[in-house]
Amino acid sequence: MIEVVYSGPLVPAEWIAAHGMHPRCVRPMPRSDSRFGPQTGVCPFARAFAEYAAVPGGQTSCPPRDSLAVFATTCDQMRRIAEFAPNAFVMNVPATWQTPTAERMYAAELHRLSRWLRAHGGSEPCTAAFQQPCGTDFQPVSHLDRVRLGVIGGPIPDDSPFTGWIEEVGGTLVLDGTDGGPRTQPWIDTSRFHDDPIAELTRAYLSVPSIHHRPNHRIFEWLRTHASAARVQGIILRRYVWCDLWHAEARRFGEVLDVPLLDLEVDGNEATDPRVRGRIASFLEMLTPCAAREA
């Protein structure tokens, strides 16, 4: 089965699967020693995904693979780094979401993606096998003696030690609001998908609260609601260096939430930089007396 890799949360994996292909969401770990593409001003995650998509071996440290790649225009960094992966499909995801134009645009892109998939070995779309997943991959584990944390921001790489560090320093992750987490997994009505997959996917994916949307108030509403429901005691905004979309809203997140916010900027050194773990630990130290009082 042909594999189609993507990283953008608004790329419809269900549609790729309906064409008899295997969709795989890839979040490669950024590497500070990567020499792929320009160096200054490029989001490390965008570079990592583009390198994965463009280089035959994925990233040069990976074994060779043969797969297709889909980029989404949900940020300018991804839109522009896609030029360095010339054989990839660039899905034009609208930034607006409330207008008929946005709906038509997303639907048109689904048709175009279908043509591209079929031109690259995919079958005519068949929705019969689709089943709405019962849950998400994220399963919060509640430890009464740990600080309850939420995380928002850009995608967390597959091999990132980030969530492990949270556990190591005494926290427990009870809310995942990152790109690629539960917030960005749309609910798709199975019967509507079978009847009219384009319309249902358009409805479902435009309903996902995304930081790139204009206006973007839904992401704040989502966070307030879910942070309250999960009884979050602190939020980490984990954003990549040069990611303007999340960075610009850091102040506003801090203003609208009732809990402390850690604004954590990460670059290609996350796996090896002790400062990231240290900042998480310091944040938890600050929260721990509050958590103890609540307990």
Q: Is 37 in the site for another protein (CB under 8 A)?
A: yes
70-to-41, 145, 183 alpha-carbon distances in Å: 22, 42, 21
Burial class (CB in 10 A: 0-12, 13-18, 19+), 295: exposed
Q: Is 77 in the site for another protein (CB under 8 A)?
A: yes
The residue count for binding another protein (CB under 8 A) is 44
Residue from 60, 76, 136, 142 in contact with another protein (CB under 8 A): 76
Site for another protein in 156-215 (CB under 8 A): 212, 214-215
Instruction: Kindly state the smallest distance separating residue 103's Cβ from another protein, in Å.
Output: 11
- Pairing state between β 234-240 and 147-153: parallel
Instruction: Kindly state the smallest distance separating residue 269's Cβ from another protein, in Å.
Output: 17
Using CA atoms, how far apart are residues 156 and 174, in angstroms rounded to an integer?
Answer: 15
Q: CA-CA-CA-CA torsion for 238, 96, 109, 122, nearest 10 degrees?
A: 30
Residue from 38, 57, 121, 164 in contact with another protein (CB under 8 A): 38
Site for another protein in 234-253 (CB under 8 A): 241-245, 247-252
Q: Is 216 in the site for another protein (CB under 8 A)?
A: yes
Q: Name the residue type at position 214.
A: R
> With respect to another protein, which residue has the nearer C-beta, 81 or 280?
81
Q: Return the H-helix or E-strand segment holding 24.
A: strand 22-25
> With respect to another protein, which residue has the nearer C-beta, 24 or 214?
214
Q: Return the H-helix or E-strand segment holding 109.
A: helix 100-119
Looking at the DSSP bridge assignments, the partners of residue 67 are: 3
Q: Is 41 in the site for another protein (CB under 8 A)?
A: yes
CB atoms under 10 Å from CB of 220, counted, come to: 17
Looking at the DSSP bridge assignments, the partners of residue 232 are: none
> With respect to another protein, which residue has the nearer C-beta, 174 or 237?
237
Q: What's the alpha-carbon Rg for the chain, to the nearest Å?
A: 19
Site for another protein in 104-143 (CB under 8 A): 104-105, 108, 112, 115
Using CA atoms, how far apart are residues 47 and 7, in angstroms rounded to an integer?
Answer: 12
Interface stretch with another protein, choices 13-21, 60-68, 81-89, 135-143 (CB under 8 A): 81-89
Q: Is 42 in the site for another protein (CB under 8 A)?
A: yes
Q: Which residues make up the interface to another protein (CB under 8 A)?
A: 37-38, 40-43, 73, 75-77, 79-81, 83-84, 90, 92, 94-96, 99-102, 104-105, 108, 112, 115, 212, 214-216, 241-245, 247-252
